[in-house]
Amino acid sequence: MTQKLRALIADDESAARETLSNYILRYCKNVEIIAEAKDVPEAIAKIKEHKPNLVFLDVEMPFGNAFDVLEQTADEQYETIFVTAYTEYAIKALNFSAAYYILKPLAIEELIKALEKVEENIATGGAVNHTEVIAQNLRNPENKKLVLPTSSGFEVVQIKEIIRLSGSGNYSEIFLIDGRKKVVSKVLRHFQEILEDCGFVRVHKSHIANMEQVTGYHRGRGGVLAMSDGAEIEVSPNKKDEVLKYFKAE
């Protein structure tokens, strides 16, 4: 029999804690709720006291946020399912690390799906500590890391090692400085939204370029970017001005 997950719920709204608790009791028989917390200091204290292996963590709470909890409990070993009302900042941080999250108002299907992912990660040895990647990115934003889901788990790459991304249907190809190519079952828009503040530009419906890895530009209707790996990628006409502006070229 699979060992039960020992869970802590951290959320400043009592109604939200009660709803989540009721859903877990009714639909998630493999989860035991061992503690609750209503703010950041209490969450930190109870994580250290009760040693849960799963924390449901609201992103915005009194006296800080979920990322403060991660920082202060970095020595503890637990999986995290983030519970949040949509905010662009929060979702970007979570997507960088391929973390598990569910949006408010809670949907039972999303809760069950997130729990299945957590259990799968634990069963496969927890190849990546998602919370640690988030904490590292927050501590060192100039050296951000990105978690890429693979068929056997996850792989972590540094953002600055990515040269370009190409999309085809529901898959994206990620080309790295060391010559490796990663194929990920995520649409290109997923990475566009994550990387747009990191010097990457969606230059074409099929291409995202790391502008630090551009070695040249060939004029044309939209033009073509020469990349550091020798590839040449087309620029859409409606993206031409944005590309030239990036390099302050006319």
Query: Where residue 26 falls among pLDDT bands split at 50, 70, 90?
Result: very high
Q: What does the pLDDT read at residue 231?
A: 97
65 and 113 fall within a common domain: yes
Task: Tell me the CATH number at 116.
Answer: 3.40.50.2300
Residues 176-194 have a mean pLDDT of: 93
What pLDDT, in 10s, does the model give residues 57-110?
Answer: 998 899 988 888 988 998 888 889 999 887 777 777 788 887 888 999 999 999
**Which of the listed residues 137, 156, 182 is the one where a domain comes to its end?**
137
131 and 186 fall within a common domain: no
Residues 16-44 have a mean pLDDT of: 95
131 and 168 fall within a common domain: no
What is the number of alpha carbons within 13 Å of residue 159 lying toward its C-beta? 25
Q: Which two tokens stand for residue 220?
A: 């044309």
186 and 122 fall within a common domain: no
**Residue ranges making up the domain that contains 224:** 145-246
Among 211, 205, 213, smallest CA distance to 176 is for: 213
127 and 12 fall within a common domain: yes
Q: Between the CA of residue 49 and those of 20, 28, 64, 240, what are the distances in Å?
A: 22, 24, 20, 56
Q: pTM above the 0.75 mark? A: no
Q: Look at 119 and 228; give whichever has higher pLDDT.
A: 228
Task: Tell me the CATH number at 151.
Answer: 2.40.50.1020
Q: What does the pLDDT read at residue 1?
A: 43
Query: Where residue 124 falls among pLDDT bands split at 50, 70, 90?
Result: low
How large a percentage of the chain has pLDDT more than 90?
60
31 and 152 fall within a common domain: no
Q: What does the pLDDT read at residue 247?
A: 84
- Checking if the pLDDT of 181 tops 90, the result is yes
Neighbour-count burial for 62-96, b at 16+ CB within 10 Å, e otherwise: eebbbbbbbebbeebebbbbbbbeeeeebbebbbb
105 and 10 fall within a common domain: yes
Structural domain total, the chain: 2
Among 147, 49, 65, 111, smallest CA distance to 57 is for: 65
- Checking if the pLDDT of 128 tops 60, the result is no
**Which of the listed residues 109, 137, 165 is the one where a domain comes to its end?**
137
**Which of the listed residues 137, 169, 187 is the one where a domain comes to its end?**
137
Among 83, 79, 84, 95, smallest CA distance to 30 is for: 79
Q: Do residues 201 and 165 make contact, with C-beta atoms less than 8 angstroms apart?
A: no
Q: What does the pLDDT read at residue 123?
A: 75
